[in-house]
Amino acid sequence: MKIGPVDLEWVANNVERIGELLFEHVYFTLIAVGIGFAISFGLALVVRRFPRAYGPVLGTTGMLYAIPSLALFALLVPITGLTSVLTAEIALVSYTLLILTRNIVEGLRGVPVDAIDAATGMGYTPAQRLVRVELPLALPVIVAGLRIATVTTVGLVTLVAVIGLGGLGYLIVTIGTNRGSFGLTATLTGIVLAVGLAVLADLALLALQRALTPWARRRAG
């Protein structure tokens, strides 16, 4: 049975394999965004302590972000190997750093001075002030960056099929170009699932932001 160019019988016969590729796509995305967030948070704390470091940090992460993905894969393959998860994740993580670092820094800088002074007056140590006051107030800006980085990474993960790895890009790049009459079905399946995954991830992070910042909802209301 077909709906337009999509052969539903092919999809039904390969649903298990498609599910495996979807899981791999989510796996690659979570690793990249998780490691990217950890590195970016560390860089943001360095910038918070040494404001003059902000320019060099943004310059370096911006340079990494500007490298075309396929060119970055080509640079990494001789060092970390073809069909290597390490090759894929180094590239994917590098594209999250500019977005996440900038949003974390700007989120912390946007915390009202009055709130910081009040926390200091209450005897909070710098670490306590960061965790209890600054991070909660900066959360909307931080999560906004996390949403952008996640959606971007979901799209970029489709390219890891070029170096022989899985994910939904395998449907688009490998099967889609080599399976004759089923090629278009495979390509469209990969594209639709990748777009759907990006939308679901964005909505999930938005829901998380709203759950963690109930005061923002009350203020907006």
CA dihedral 166, 142, 220, 137 (to 10 degrees): 150
Run of H or E residues at 6: strand 6-7
Q: Are 187 and 11 in contact (CB under 8 A)?
A: no
Q: What domain count does the chain have?
A: 1
In whole angstroms, give the CA distance from residue 69 to residue 53.
26
Residue 131: give the domain boundaries.
2-216
Q: Is residue 221 part of a domain?
A: no
In whole angstroms, give the CA distance from residue 155 to residue 158.
6
Question: Mean of the pLDDT values across residues 91-100?
Answer: 96
Tell me what pLDDT residue 111 has.
Answer: 93
Question: Mean of the pLDDT values across residues 38-48?
Answer: 96
Q: Is residue 52 part of a domain?
A: yes
Higher pLDDT, 150 or 123: 150
SS3 48: helix
Question: Mean of the pLDDT values across residues 172-198?
Answer: 81
CA dihedral 54, 57, 62, 63 (to 10 degrees): 140
Tell me what pLDDT residue 159 has.
Answer: 92
- Residue where the block lists tokens 């390490």: 86
- Burial annotation 91-129 (CB, 10 A radius, 16+ → b, else e): bbbbbbbbbbbbbbbebbeebeeeebeebeeeebeeeeb
Question: Mean of the pLDDT values across residues 18-27?
Answer: 96
Tell me what pLDDT residue 144 has.
Answer: 94
In the predicted structure, residue 176 carries a pLDDT above the cut 60 = no
Q: Are 141 and 110 in contact (CB under 8 A)?
A: yes
Per-residue pLDDT tens digits for 129-165: 999 999 999 999 999 999 999 999 999 999 999 898 9
Q: Is residue 175 part of a domain?
A: yes
**Number of DSSP helices (H) and strands (E) in the chain, helices first:** 12, 2
Residues with Cβ within 8 Å of 74's Cβ and at least 6 positions away in sequence, in order, are none
Tell me what pLDDT residue 12 has.
Answer: 87
* pLDDT above 70 coverage of the chain, percent: 91
Q: How confident is the model at residue 181 (pLDDT cuts 50, 70, 90)?
A: low
- Residue where the block lists tokens 């998380």: 208
Tell me what pLDDT residue 48 has.
Answer: 92
**Average per-residue pLDDT in the chain?**
90
In the predicted structure, residue 34 carries a pLDDT above the cut 60 = yes
Q: Is residue 12 part of a domain?
A: yes
Q: Is residue 123 part of a domain?
A: yes
Q: Is residue 93 part of a domain?
A: yes
In the predicted structure, residue 66 carries a pLDDT above the cut 90 = yes
Q: Are 58 and 102 in contact (CB under 8 A)?
A: yes
Q: Is residue 19 part of a domain?
A: yes
Q: Which of 157, 165, 146 shows the shortest CA–CA distance to 204?
A: 146
Give me the CATH number covering residue 172.
1.10.3720.10
In whole angstroms, give the CA distance from residue 186 to residue 220.
44
Question: Mean of the pLDDT values across residues 90-94?
Answer: 96
Q: Is residue 103 part of a domain?
A: yes
